Chain A
């Protein structure tokens, strides 16, 4: 019996929480615990004897650390709940400890407040529209949430239309609600998306990559053909070019961008630019 216990002990040994700083940009798995920078001092081998004396022992040296997607608070540590690369962003203004999050690849969208998404109107019931955004339930959109809409001047929205809007209420306990105006009442590009064009679905990670500030893919695509493009954070892209063929080519390129390396992409773009 003792030997069996020894075998088990060997296999369990070597597991302990790692410092978040040490694991940045590496793949983390669900179930791992990460230590925040303040706690590392106490957990190290010589920590107890070497910590400097502080007058206010309870205050943290760095402010609040924000725990982003893929991480949960578990006691005073971070528990990883999704598989992906751990990322960190330093705070801009110096207060707070920055944001930690896990960059994971996913197809299914979960509504988040403030996200701009493309939805499809599925039903009109009374004063609200039911919009399918790809989540677990349809979002509701009031007819007054459009620029210049009043009770007499209703917006022209039919079932099957595409809507670009943002979430004002999106949490796990309530039905998501979206609007097509900002807090000042201006549309800012939101509302019903026009006729024609093509709507297709990609993974959420690709959308985030395309919307990053210095994305080359988008600049190269813009040089190819004149186009209109709308990105929804729920993985939907609407694209429209002058002819149907150009629209289809753009849709195929964007879908394939996920799997191509930068060189392959440049080859394809140069070939298309010639023809």
Chain B
């Protein structure tokens, strides 16, 4: 059983392409990203993964209230607004996860007593929402010129009831899965920055999901590089 699961992981990880039809050998959905689309924020980006779309805006380094200022680094605030309704507890917990990831990567020590605000708006949710939010936040931070020590990306894995691993699941696959795991990885050495999991899974399955996510993240980083090169080639 162990052997088959590992082989399947290997097949899925190697065939991960960033823009391809979803077939039985699972791949990441089609990506699209647009930067500098909003005029007010200092940086903005819109990230699309399949049908999931998130718009991010970054303000900073800007003024901060004296009650919130930190003497030796920047105060990072993340606001996540759902598509409909008021933000609730789920949004608050996602905001905290995104904030912890951003704090690990942004060089806040260069801008003490300032605030860097990331505002995320869910435009459409079709699965892998947290990963899409992380990607949009990263692209918006790069667009704003906030100094960072690395780029980061989010990858979601879902484990089926029979143990098959699905990368970048749709909403339907997430609902039917027995476990959904989201990882945030950095670009320098694919280290794990944040992980949040829901459901039942074994220790070995966790390691396999992490390995598959690390392999998938290189496609995401390649996409980042291509889209940033395209942006700078226009000037």
B-contacting residues of A (Cβ < 8 Å)?
Answer: 1, 3-5, 7-8, 10-12, 15, 27, 29-31, 70, 72, 79, 81-85, 104-108, 110, 135-137, 172-173, 205
- A30/B150 contact (C-beta < 8 A), A7-B10, A106-B145 known: yes
* B interface list, Cβ under 8 A from A: 6-7, 9-10, 13-14, 36, 42-43, 59-64, 107, 110-115, 142, 144-145, 147-151, 186-190, 204, 207-208, 211-212, 214-215, 217-218, 224-225, 228-229, 232-233, 235
Complex partner residue of B144 from A7, A108, A205, CB under 8 angstroms: A108
Choice from B36, B115, B189, B232 contacting A15 with Cβ under 8 Å:
B189
Residues of A contacting B233 in the complex (Cβ-Cβ under 8 angstroms): 27
Cβ distance A43 to chain B, nearest Cβ, rounded Å: 18
Chain A, residue nearest B145 (CB): A106
Are B229 and A31 neighbours in the complex by a CB distance under 8 Å?
no
Closest chain B residue to A209 by CB distance? B235
Shortest C-beta distance, B191 to chain A (Å), equals 10
Q: Complex: how many Å from CA A105 to CA B144?
A: 8
CB neighbours of B43 from chain A (8 A): 107
**How near does chain B come to A110, taking the closest CB pair, in angstroms?**
7
Set B14, B42, B61, B187: member contacting A29, Cβ < 8 A:
B187
A3 and B6: CB pair below 8 A? yes
When distances are taken between beta carbons in the complex, the residues of chain B under 8 Å from A137 are 63, 113-114
Given the contacts A29-B225, A136-B111, A107 and B150 also touching, CB distance less than 8 Å: no
Give Cα distance in the complex from A106 to B235, angstroms: 13
Report chain B residues within 8 Å CB of A8.
Answer: 190, 211, 214-215
Residues of A within 8 A of B61 (CB): 108, 110, 135-136
The reply to whether B151 and A30 contact each other, CB–CB distance below 8 Å, is yes
B211 touches A172 (CB 8 A): no
* A7 and B14 within 8 A (CB): yes
A1-B6, A1-B207 are known contacts. Are A11 and B214 too (CB-CB below 8 A)?
yes
| Residue from the list A27, A30, A83 in contact with B149, Cβ < 8 A | A30
Interface of A is mostly: loop
CA distance A135 to B59 in the complex (A): 11
Task: Give the contacting residue for A4; candidates B107, B114, B211; CB below 8 A.
Answer: B211
Q: Roughly how many angstroms separate A29 CA and B112 CA in the complex, as a whole number?
A: 23
What is the distance, in angstroms, from B184's C-beta to the closest C-beta of chain A? 14
Given A31-B151, A136-B64, is A7 in contact with B112 using a C-beta cutoff of 8 Å?
no
CB–CB A136/B113 < 8 A: yes
Contact partner of B151 among A29, A136, A172, CB < 8 A?
Answer: A29
Q: In the complex, which residues of chain A have a beta carbon less than 8 angstroms from the beta carbon of B208?
A: 4
Does B42 contact A108, Cβ atoms closer than 8 Å?
yes
A31 to B153, CA, bound (A): 13
Contacts of A3 in B (CB 8 A): 6-7, 9-10
With a CB–CB cut-off of 8 A, which chain A residues contact B144?
106-108
Partner pick for A136 among B114, B186, B207, B229, CB 8 A cutoff: B114
6 tightest CB-CB pairs across the interface, nearest first?
A31-B150, A106-B145, A81-B147, A136-B114, A4-B211, A108-B42
